[in-house]
Amino acid sequence: MRIMNVVGARPNFVKIAPLISEMRKCQDISPLLVHTGQHYDEKMSDSFFRDLEIPVPDYNLCVPPGLRVTQVSEIMVRLAPVVMRERPDVVLVVGDVNSTLAAALTAVRSCVPVAHVEAGLRSFDLRMPEEVNRVMTDEVSDLMFVTEPSGVENLLKEGKPPQRIFLVGNVMIDSLKRALRRMEGSAISAVRNALRGTSAAPSLRYAVLTLHRQGLVDDPVLFGKVWKVLEEIGCRVPIIFPVHPRTHLRMRQIGCRRSMADEDRGNFDGIHMIPPMGYLEFLSLQRQAAFVLTDSGGVQEEAPSLGKRVLVMRDVTERPEGIQHGIIKLVGTRQADIVSAVIETLQDEGSRPNPGANPSGE
Ligand code: UDP
């Protein structure tokens, strides 16, 4: 069986790594790997291929950076001839990024079956581009591999045939488990470097922050308000903030005086901004953190498996299981809610969530 795996962005690399590794062990499967180039540089792409031991892609579509509205169509234009040439038995896509949807649409229009890993997750908020990608990808998928029971329920409610839905667990957590075995040494020294010069350094007590959802960082008013809240939190506990390129760009566009210099690090008001970290380094950073503040989908799943409390700065999540188990908390974007959740989390610091209670971890 020829399986064409298509990836494009940071979270995709984390998800595809254990799948490619298993496919390569199986004599009957010949996996192909296509990188769309959606994320393309050392920090957002190359380092992940190294850290996760992903083989060099068979194709790199080198989609131009900076496209927003037309990125899906541009990827389709570049992927279609590759699908025609290779005639895979199935195209496998992961997650909810533009490359996921583009590859699924290209496959279905080329009469190649589509398998979607991380199917069925729904935030029910179509203002999120990721939600549009999720819904549309599942609409054209022949095989839907689901990470948590809510995903199965969602797909069944949408009328998807039960025989095409498989509750299989979470490949991000497979990657995490593999990484934990390898991540000592260099990853830990990278964390020390990240903390150097911050008030977190002596005690190693800090919070980790990631932010990149369009609904938050593309709205200057909301982003400005959230930033003030983060400064307030930074006075209580230093925040280490590896800045996503999208967020960095928005900070520059809105003339944020706290914008991180390209090569430099910025240490402002208890918020220590650094460039995006490699996968192993970032896991190490999370593992030693007091808690994690994020709007990321993947980090919501990872951090509890590292025994960390997670405060999610969103009003809705497509991953409700962690909330039902009380290991992640949706705190929205309002000052009072975020600050009181942080205070509660700091008071509760001694009692760590049990990673075994993380449904994603099983
Ligand atoms: N990640 C990383 N370095 C960072 C920030 C995140 O390696 O500086 C990893 C994180 O461990 C997780 C993945 O990126 O595996 C999550 O990706 P992201 O938050 O970009 O996307 P989302 O999951 O929200 O789609």
Whole-number Å distance, alpha carbon 42 to ligand 1 midpoint, is: 14
**Tokens for 226?**
């959230």
pLDDT (mean) for 268-279: 86
- Tell me the DSSP string of 205-251: --EEEE---HHHHT-HHHHHHHHHHHHHHHHHS-EEEEPPHHHHHHH
Total residues found in the chain within this entry = 362
Closest listed residue to residue 352, CA positions, set 271, 277, 286, 278: 286
Report whether residue 34 contacts ligand 1, using a CB cutoff of 6 Å: no
Give tens-digit pLDDT for 66-96.
Answer: 788 899 999 999 999 999 999 999 999 999 9
Question: Among 7, 10, 308, which residue has the most ligand 1 atoms within 8 Å of its CB, making it the best to mutate?
Answer: 10
Question: Among 12, 38, 101, 210, which residue has the most ligand 1 atoms within 8 Å of its CB, making it the best to mutate?
Answer: 210
- Please give the model's pTM, rounded to 2 decimal places: 0.92
Q: How many CB atoms lie within 10 A of CB 256?
A: 16
* Torsion sign over Cα 37, 38, 44, 48: negative
Q: How many CB atoms lie within 10 A of CB 324?
A: 12
Whole-number Å distance, alpha carbon 87 to ligand 1 midpoint, is: 32
Alpha-carbon gap, residue 144 to 243, rounded angstroms? 32
Question: Among 38, 54, 299, 328, which residue has the most ligand 1 atoms within 8 Å of its CB, making it the best to mutate?
Answer: 299
Q: How many CB atoms lie within 10 A of CB 139?
A: 15
Give tens-digit pLDDT for 119-150.
Answer: 999 999 999 999 999 999 999 999 999 999 99
Alpha-carbon gap, residue 216 to 207, rounded angstroms? 20
Whole-number Å distance, alpha carbon 11 to ligand 1 midpoint, is: 6
Cite the active site residues. Answer: 212
**Tokens for 186?**
């260099």
Give tens-digit pLDDT for 217-245.
Answer: 999 999 988 988 998 999 889 999 999 99
Give tens-digit pLDDT for 248-258.
Answer: 988 887 766 55
Whole-number Å distance, alpha carbon 322 to ligand 1 midpoint, is: 17
Are the CB atoms for 107 and 131 separated by under 8 Å?
A: no
Nearest CA to ligand 1 atom 7: 279
